[in-house]
Amino acid sequence: MTNATLRQFKLPDVGEGLTEGEILQWLVAVGDTVTVNQPLCEVETAKAAVELPSPFAGTVVELLFEAGTMVDVGAPIITIDVGGDAPAAPAPAGSGLIGETNANGRTAVLVGYGPRSTEARRRPRRTAAHATGTPVAPPVPDDAPPLLATAPDMRTKPVRHGGLEVGRQAEAAALSEAAAPAREAVPGRRGPRPLAKPPVRKYAKDLGVDLATITGTGAGGVITRADVDAALAAATSGAEMAISAPEGGERIPVKGVRRHTAAAMVASAFTAPHVTEFLTVDVTRMMKLRARLAARPEFAGVRLSPLAFVARAVLLAAQRHPMVNSSWDEAAQEIVVHGRVNLGIAAATPRGLVVPNIKDAGRLSLAELATALGELTETARAGRTAPQDMTGGTLTITNVGVFGVDTGTPILNPGEAAILAFGAVREMPWVHKGKVRPRQVTTLALSFDHRIVDGELGSKVLADIGALLQDPATAIAY
């Protein structure tokens, strides 16, 4: 067995811009013979649990990580002996095998996900130093950490004013700034921007860690994820005794889906101004219609739950009020009104809360919508939701009624303008036709982003949903 026959499969980006994943379990062992596209392992990312297929046929030589390990995207996870003549998975023209680095230096990943297949390349820069023979700094590799506080990296030209001499002085000052150690912040004066790559900056922001308080241990003083983790541990060490698990308790690491959800909810709650309105509705007629439709042939084998009627009402209300199905584009300072509703349904799973969505749900009939809802929730609870079903949602429903809860104040799914909480349907005393009678009643709660949906529009949307559930026949008028 030679090195020429050994191939390593690298952890691909199975989502959209993910940086790491946890190996939940290996589906093969050392010595096993594998075929192309045979599942090798199950990996949990920040969005879902997926199986990774093998791009090679051969014999497993080594599993490079144990189950339960967090692995960075691009790191080799398994070594396979392809035997020299074992066929590999066919690849489309211009692309590589899953996990294999192509001619552009990119790692091929699952179809439809991950980095782009093309790469912009920087043209070598001709500086005044080259022209005059003045010694220049050694070339900087493409993956070098950013070194300047005011530019993406030290390859970026400073703005030149007053000719080449000023340009040289600006470059020298910039390089001197980059080479100097990070200075301590002086009260009353703004210090240099902490050195960290964008993923690390986002990671620190999600955890609430101030990068200005951290001394980087990476090359050139760059702050790493490990530095952020160490700073967070140091900040919480003083309170650890107070929050340590009591005898017989446990401490649960927050990672994968649960960590992603926590960060997303914090970002949503403190970015979008939330408003929540409530409406209690008599849904007796809806429940009677449900019983009648369930007996019809076209609904045979379909689980027609009250949630299907709520989803249908939300879709009709969004059709009448398109602004509720929109997003806020902070960078462009624009409201993006979506052309179709990708209806998200919040689902509780053993790994945490996920919100898969039904693409273009408005095109479905009631029977098709009920079937799609059943498949979506069953797949989510089994932890088998595909990554593409976790992205692109535009409007969400959370069914708190399944837990016997009347209502709540739901937090917006990031990037969406509204979310509806559907409470438990209960038999309650209700004034109907001038008399108090037992009726089937539920409470709805609509949270919305007040930058996009004002109180008038939010009230109209909620009122329309309530009217459709109270008297389903009104759907004919929509």
Q: Does pLDDT of 12 surpass 60?
A: yes
CA 177/CA 156 separation, integer angstroms: 14
Instruction: For 251-285, write each residue's pLDDT tens digit.
Output: 777 777 777 777 777 878 878 899 999 999 999 99
* Catalytically annotated residue among 274, 321, 338, 450: 450
Overall CATH class of domain 1-120:
mainly beta
List CB contacts of 463: < 8 A, sequence separation 6 or more. 279
Average pLDDT for the chain:
78
Cβ-contact 443, 423 below 8 angstroms:
yes
CATH homologous superfamily for the domain 198-242: E3-binding domain (4.10.320.10)
Backbone angles phi, psi at 355, to 5 degrees: -130, 75
Provide the whole-model pTM: 0.57
Q: Output the pLDDT for position 368.
A: 96
Tell me whether residue 450 is one of the annotated catalytic residues. Answer: yes
Q: Does pLDDT of 92 surpass 70?
A: no
Q: Output the pLDDT for position 47.
A: 63
Alpha-carbon dihedral 299, 302, 308, 309, rounded to 10 degrees = 30
Is domain 272-477 in CATH 3.30.559.10, yes or no? yes
Q: Spell out the domain ranges in the chain.
A: 1-120, 198-242, 272-477
CA 329/CA 335 separation, integer angstroms: 6
Instruction: For 296-341, write each residue's pLDDT tens digit.
Output: 998 998 999 999 999 999 999 999 999 999 999 988 989 999 999 9
What is the phi-psi region of residue 398: left when phi exceeds 0, alpha when psi lies from -120 to 50, beta otherwise? beta
* SS3 of residue 18 by DSSP: coil
| Paired tokens of 435 | 């008399």
**pLDDT band for position 114 (50/70/90)?**
very low
- Separation of CA 142 from chain center: 27
**211 vs 448, more confident:** 448
Instruction: For 181-224, write each residue's pLDDT tens digit.
Output: 444 443 443 456 788 887 788 788 878 888 888 988 888 888 99
